[in-house]
Structure 1
Amino acid sequence: MTKKRQIKLAAYLIGTGMHVASWRHPKAKPNASIDPAAFIQYAQIAERGKFDLAFIADSLAVNKESHPQILNRFDPVVIITAMAAATEKIGIAGTASTTYNEPYILARQFASVDHVGGGRAGWNMVTTADATGETALNFSLQKHWEHDHRYERAEEFVDVVKGLWNSWEDDAFIYNKETGQFFDSEKMHELQYKGKYFSVKGPLNIARSKQGQPVIIQAGSSEPGQRLAARTAEIVFAHRDDMEEAKRFYKQLKSRLPEYGRSEDELLILHGISPIVGETEEIALEKYNELQKGLDPYEALKFVSGYMGNVDFSKYPLTALAKEVEFPPVNSIQSQFFEMKKIIDEEDLTVGELYTRFFGAAKKDGFIGTPQQVADEMEKWFTEKAADGFMIQFPLLPYDLEDFVRLVVPILQERGLYRFEYEGDTLRENLGLKIPQNQFTQKKQKIQG
């Protein structure tokens, strides 16, 4: 009997919330981005709502033109470790770059978090989109690598990391006090990887976790990004302007999986939304307007600029047509840039309308309203296969998260779209993903067979 699909939910956690003016809200704690108690609270609320995942994004440079919450933030590996220790069932995922890291260090860090959480860790694999090029200067480089070059390196990087996570077979550590045998040396494997970018001997000095290895998450939607996702990712975080665009992307990416010997249920696509829920439509809009009161239009434009590459909208009058702005070559998130640029060209938006169009109530979705309206929209996206679930970027934390758990989750549960209890103890169990077989065990079995 085929198990019924259910909505998967991830909570995108950033300081006081995703809205660029959230830190100015009367209820907000402005320094939440460096308050461990705040993130632990967020993760615990999400766990109470049976979310699959609590997710932390990252950046490796200070971009004064972007969201203020990213100017002063934790290293994701540090904060997800604290969150893992303070929760029991929810998955904990953090972002780490394949461009500005070494595979051995990253593999060890995330394997460690996976053990701390009892098999609940996820790695958001990014190549680092940096429109300003500032990141390179923090890593002894003069220039940020080009988009396709970053993905080429990432292909090798993820192979090395996954190979290192397989350094030990599941029963390699014996801990036999009587015989003095700590481990079975025949079940330890050196990777001996040699490629264009990396040469890594191994083995990794930490065992496989309860779920085998951390879940791999990715957000790339460009051609190289989709290729990498189809081959290696288990969750893809996507943004599309409307449901029809999302359905096309969903079908396109899922259709690529057989090329790599994978089935559709081995990759989950989560669509990014920013719901604001109120007992009535008026209350929901009042919450939205309260956030908008703190919005400086030029600060908001800096945030938009960060999403569209090396362009500064804040230099232009608010009444200027956005399509007349000069756009330099993009070396950032290409798929997002081209989608936003298409909207700018087609809708004759002014510069002053950009933030609200892309990040506010003017988006083409129905995620600001009553609990029933938000649940209806989520059900529609899910049942029509525009998404397997949602990466929820709550505008104001923890309040919008609390309201969602209190008001929307029960409706989704009553409709049979969402769990009442976690299915298991690990992230893979709760997502319905299989434990990856150890590549060295698999090789031995083939030889013996």
Structure 2
Amino acid sequence: MTETKKQKLSKPKKTLVLNAFTNGTLYSQIPGIWRHPNDKTSTHTELSYWTQLAKTAERGKLNSIFIADTLTYFDVYKGPNNPGPSLEVGINAPKLDPSIPISAMASVTESIGFGITFSTVSEHPYLLARRLATLDHLTQGRLGWNIVASYLPSVGRQLLNGGELLAHEDRYAQTQEYLEIVYKLLLSSWREDALIKDKSRGVYVDSSRVRNIEHDGKFFKLNGASITSIIPQGFPVIIQAGTSKQGKEFAAKNAEIIFVGSGNNLSQSGESIKEIRQLAQNYGRDPYSIKFLVSAAPILGKTHQEAIDKWEDYSSYANPEGSQIMFSSQSGINLDKYEWDEPFGQEVGKNNASIGLTKNTLNSTTKTTSRRKIFENSKEYTKLLVGTGEEVANIIEEWVELYDIDGFNFSQSVFPESLEDIVEILIPELQKRGLFWYDYPVPNGTFRENLYQQKDHSFLPKDHPGYQYRWTKDESREDFENKLKDEGIL
């Protein structure tokens, strides 16, 4: 081992941030695996599916359950506007509203957080602010908001009166304005001690400590007070995934957790981490207050051969069209017009859905690829972390050292079997190595307290741009509004 490598490995080990990744549908890294006899994702319409997921994940002491969401069909493949292939394979539909099961999951757990995707085009920010507040109240401060600026063209047809989504750069400008309105509603409308519940005087809320939010922006207008009281965390943990130029800027300014790709494009992920940490520093933030996560799908066995056998078994259920449907939607490129081995890669459609994700996929296949390679690449992704707990932990430890990764979104190939393997086989090995805690640092704490491993750290840190919106109990309305004017955010 070289001296440089020794120095790298001698750094204090990170306590990893580990999430269980899921969706409100038949989600798996292996499209079509719902046919596997051990897979129970088709029961996602039953509360018992969600409560089992939550209890298993908390038994493993995972940071959170992250629920992704895309409120649309994947309808580019064999399209346009053709949901048929995705329906037949079971990709992204039928799908539940992922916010509904959170209350049930919270009722059977105590410490695990809940990261949930909400788009900035699916509803008015006033409505979303209430939804976020409700969920943070009912979970006692265990909510995280994954902010997305929806990218699939069908979202425009479904939600925007048949119109088109904004151009990529404008979507992030709209998303920043949307976020600022939610900052104002959750942090600047009610003083933190406005809810007094004074039985002797019969006063529930001190109305002098509640103020209207007046916003007249490029994309949104609002004049009214928040209808919810201050929430346990002040503001949900902010999560973001975006590797385009605008996405990186938005994330560096606002996010506390950032998703930066997957195990099959780690070099790009590592470069994104470096770049975003520097951008965050430019915004005056502590760059290491941001936790960078990559997605991975461990397939584990008590022996190496058992893990290999599982991978081969799972892979045998993969539907080749699944990878085509998913890539077509993320890129805007209808792969059906190409032959199975016909090279392509230079076409990036004008409706390019996820620019960063598409480029990462093409870069990982040397900028030209084929339908066959897209399918094989999806299978290889699930083979990256196949082995015993020790073997997979070795790979994880190497990735963390080489690419400055802070944690992982763990997908399951077969539910609940894959999650149970993560909890029973992988987590103990990571704990033994000092890479993961044995218990939550703040039992019964908020998402943010456990994210930063610090009690009484529920609110956004002082170097975060959202902190300035907070109306504290020590500020009169006049003083607070003068402060907002000085900051240019009234």
- TM-score w.r.t. length of structure 2: 0.84
Matches for 1:202-217 after TM superposition, within 5 Å: 202-217=224-239
Alignment partner of 1:158 is 2:179: yes
> Mean alpha-carbon deviation: is it higher for 427-436 or for 439-448?
439-448
Aligned to 1:283: 306
How many equivalent residue pairs? 441
How far is the alpha carbon of 1:99 from its aligned partner?
1.9
Aligned to 1:27: 38
The one-letter amino acid of 2:226's match is L
Alignment partner of 1:430 is 2:450: yes
The one-letter amino acid of 2:217's match is G
Alignment partner of 1:351 is 2:371: yes
Is the 1:12–1:391 contact (alpha carbons within 8 Å) kept by the matching residues of 2?
Answer: yes
* From 149, 161, 173, the counterpart of 2:170: 149
Unaligned runs of 5+ in 1: none
Is the 2:19–2:66 contact (alpha carbons within 8 Å) kept by the matching residues of 1?
Answer: yes
Give the Cα separation in 1 of the matches to 2:287 and 2:242. 18
Aligned to 1:100: 122
The one-letter amino acid of 1:279's match is K
Aligned to 1:198: 220
Aligned to 1:58: 69
* Structure 1 residues 4 and 175: CA distance shift in structure 2, 3 A: farther
Give the Cα separation in 2 of the matches to 1:345 and 1:91. 38
How far is the alpha carbon of 1:117 from its aligned partner?
0.4
- TM-score w.r.t. length of structure 1: 0.91
How far is the alpha carbon of 1:171 from its aligned partner?
2.0
How far is the alpha carbon of 1:4 from its aligned partner?
6.5
Is the 2:151–2:165 contact (alpha carbons within 8 Å) kept by the matching residues of 1?
Answer: no
Aligned to 2:471: 440
Q: Kindly provide the CA deviation profile for residues 108-144 of structure 1, in whole angstroms up to 9, marking residues without a partner as x.
A: 10110001100001111101120xx222121213223
> Mean alpha-carbon deviation: is it higher for 221-230 or for 133-142?
133-142
Unaligned runs of 5+ in 2: 1-10, 75-82, 461-466, 484-490
How far is the alpha carbon of 1:245 from its aligned partner?
2.5
Q: Kindly provide the CA deviation profile for residues 390-438 of structure 1, in whole angstroms up to 9, marking residues without a partner as x.
A: 1112222111110010001011111111111112211010001651245
Aligned to 2:358: 337
Identity of aligned residues (%): 29
Aligned to 1:258: 281
Is the 1:246–1:386 contact (alpha carbons within 8 Å) kept by the matching residues of 2?
Answer: no
How far is the alpha carbon of 1:443 from its aligned partner?
9.4
Q: Kindly provide the CA deviation profile for residues 297-351 of structure 1, in whole angstroms up to 9, marking residues without a partner as x.
A: 23432223223x2222234332333448x543343111011121223345x6442
Aligned to 1:377: 395
Give the Cα separation in 2 of the matches to 1:144 and 1:199. 19
Aligned to 1:302: 325
Aligned to 1:293: 316
Aligned to 1:168: 190
Q: Kindly provide the CA deviation profile for residues 194-225 of structure 1, in whole angstroms up to 9, marking residues without a partner as x.
A: 21111222321111222222111111111111
Q: Kindly provide the CA deviation profile for residues 335-391 of structure 1, in whole angstroms up to 9, marking residues without a partner as x.
A: 011121223345x6442131231x22357x841222111111112222344311011
Aligned to 1:401: 419
Is the 2:261–2:294 contact (alpha carbons within 8 Å) kept by the matching residues of 1?
Answer: yes
Give the Cα separation in 2 of the matches to 1:30 and 1:84. 20
Give the Cα separation in 2 of the matches to 1:48 and 1:356. 34
Aligned to 2:156: 136
Is the 1:366–1:373 contact (alpha carbons within 8 Å) kept by the matching residues of 2?
Answer: no
